[in-house]
Amino acid sequence: MLNRSILRFLLGLLLAGAGAACGSTGGDFPAPPAMLAERYHDGIDPADYWVSEKLDGVRAHWNGSRLRLRSGQPVAAPGWFVAALPAVVLDGELWMGRRSFDRLSGLIRRNAPDDPGWREVRYMVFELPGAEGDFSTRVQQLRELAERAAVPWLQAVPQTRVADRRALQRRFEEVVRGGGEGLMLHRASARWIPGRSSALLKLTPWHDAEARVLAHLPGKGRLHGMTGSLLVETPDGRRFRLGSGLSDALRRSPPPPGTLVTYRYRELTPAGLPRFPRYLRMRDLP
């Protein structure tokens, strides 16, 4: 008997296909199933994993005919962009290069497929949701799919192996020095399973988490008349102020209450609050 996770996956594909057939572009479909990462720690042997750069992009799911965000909302990508994508289910990141998230998210928010900025976007695929075989098999399949498409905007995320923890640390330091987010580790023997899994790990120089904006707190001194900080709440109900990392432009036009934002922090205090939290980005996209 199929388990509930696989049944949900198949149902999602059927619904997405029905939406493509009827031309629906609304947000009435469930979020596509995805494999989510846990954090890497020193007790793990990285030799068992494929290693790739953690891309600072917008995650996007391709159901074989339609491109959607992690939330399930459709992406208004150009016709030429999606026409080159294969008729198989893909998971990946829309990406414009390191440190380009704000520019990319702005492009997607504008819902303007005729915007020339799309010429700079690449769909970096790293997974074949629901496919048979282990991750090593899927890595080869992704490479072959990208090669057959033969277009610059569809690429398989480069995956490499490392011999040991020392080699992983060297790779990590190289990526971070170059402005990258960190690394992703995917266990070579792992089959695809939706949900959070120890088969997929992330290694970053900081912790990141999400919180919901509750209110805008007024600024003082130079920030008088602007937002000084955001009052945010974590999914488990912890509230704190988030001001570091806000640009003047964001302080003049801050994320509205209800918006989901991502922040970074070094560690948790004994009270369970993030130490040195820093605003990173809005996670909610149209």
What confidence tens digit (pLDDT) does each residue in 235-275 have?
A: 999 999 999 999 999 999 999 999 999 999 978 888 889 98
The tokens of 65 are what? Answer: 């005919």
Region 112-123: mean pLDDT is 96
What value does the mean pLDDT of the chain take? 88
pLDDT tier at 285, thresholds 50, 70, 90 = low
- pLDDT computed for residue 27 by the predictor: 44
* SS3 of residue 41 by DSSP: coil
H helix or E strand, kind and range, residue 176? helix 165-177
- Whether the pTM exceeds 0.85: the reply is no
Question: Choosing from 54, 61, 122, 186, which is the catalytic residue?
Answer: 54
Q: Please indicate whether residue 202 is annotated as part of the active site.
A: no
What confidence tens digit (pLDDT) does each residue in 137-171 have?
A: 999 999 999 999 999 999 999 999 999 999 999 99
* SS3 of residue 48 by DSSP: helix
- For 117, which DSSP code? G
E strands within the chain?
A: 35-39, 49-53, 58-62, 67-69, 90-95, 122-127, 154-156, 160-161, 183-187, 195-203, 207-218, 227-233, 239-242, 260-265, 267-268, 274-275, 278-282
CA atoms within 13 A on the CB side of 116: 0
